[in-house]
Amino acid sequence: MALKPESTAPFHSVRHALRVLEVVSHHTNGVTDAGIARETGLPPAHLAQLLRMLRREGYVEQVADGAYVAGTSLSLLGSTGPDRQTAVEHKLQKSLAALRDSVGAAIYLSRYIDGEVRITQYADSPRTPKVNEWVDFRSAVHALAVGKCLLTQLDHDGRRDHFSRHKTVRFTSRTTTNEKVLFRKLESQPATVPVLDLQEYAVGTVCAAVPITAGRAAGCLALSLPLEHAHRLRQAAYTLNREAAPVLLSLTI
């Protein structure tokens, strides 16, 4: 299933973070922030922000003389041993839980794999309950923020293939069932703007999703809120977008 050529995640800082990690990995005895700035060309303020995030997430550590070395997370996620997948899932779960608490909503990580939408991990709580899956998500892609966000990352043929297997059924009065209308919406969706579900899948629930493509599979991060918190949806979505770099890093390394 081909991805659209222009379908890239709006987390440009991840590319810079990967460059920082590459520099740190090459300096096994440590490298100062000045050295990192010199090799990456990143502005000091932006670099300082990246280093704070990378330290918080365990990708780098600062030793006694102030130099930076590879951290535990980088060592685990960058390994090729049998524990790598477990380490990645554990790191992702911690990142999703942190996003849940920061955004104040249930958080979902989803991928489009073998022609189907899969919620691979999620983080909820009694105060931020996940969506009740009253209809199999795989059959409701057209009504879900997650599903629409993943479909925007496919090319036209990929979308056509999906809808040849899954019909656009009406779940609520807000569900878009006309395929031509749906295709126009998907084609016109800006890559940097969160995709919304305003009670299209379930009455009383609103959702938002942002793309995080890593590798060949389309992916996205999403959140859900009860209708009484709908006024927070757009701000929550932009916060999710802004703070999603650790998740994408875990998927990329």
Residue 2: the pLDDT is: 44
Cα separation, 206 vs 201, in Å, equals 9
**Contact call for residues 6 and 244 (beta carbons, < 8 A):** no
* pLDDT category of residue 12 using cuts at 50, 70 and 90: low
Average pLDDT of span 125-153: 95
Of 211 and 191, the structure prediction assigns the larger pLDDT to 211
Of 204 and 7, the structure prediction assigns the larger pLDDT to 204
Of 38 and 252, the structure prediction assigns the larger pLDDT to 38
In Å, what is the CA distance from 83 to each residue of 87, 162, 215? Answer: 6, 34, 20
Residue 41: the pLDDT is: 94
Residue 63: the pLDDT is: 93
- pLDDT exceeds cutoff 70 at 4: no
φ, ψ for residue 24, nearest 5 deg: -60, -40
- Taken in order of first residue, the domains within the chain and their CATH numbers are 102-252 (3.30.450.40)
Average pLDDT of span 82-92: 82
The residues that bridge with 108 in the sheet, in sequence order, are 122, 222
SS3 155: coil
Average pLDDT of span 217-242: 92
- pLDDT exceeds cutoff 80 at 103: yes
- pLDDT exceeds cutoff 80 at 82: no
Cα separation, 143 vs 167, in Å, equals 11
- Whole-prediction pTM value? 0.82
- pLDDT exceeds cutoff 50 at 6: no
As a whole number, the mean pLDDT across the chain is 89
* pLDDT category of residue 231 using cuts at 50, 70 and 90: very high
Percent over 70 (pLDDT), the chain: 92
Residue 10: the pLDDT is: 38
- pLDDT exceeds cutoff 50 at 5: no
**Contact call for residues 95 and 70 (beta carbons, < 8 A):** no
Average pLDDT of span 214-225: 85
Tens-place pLDDT, residues 143-200: 999 999 999 999 999 999 999 999 999 999 999 999 999 999 999 998 778 999 999 9
In Å, what is the CA distance from 151 to each residue of 128, 166, 226? Answer: 26, 13, 24
Cα separation, 207 vs 132, in Å, equals 12
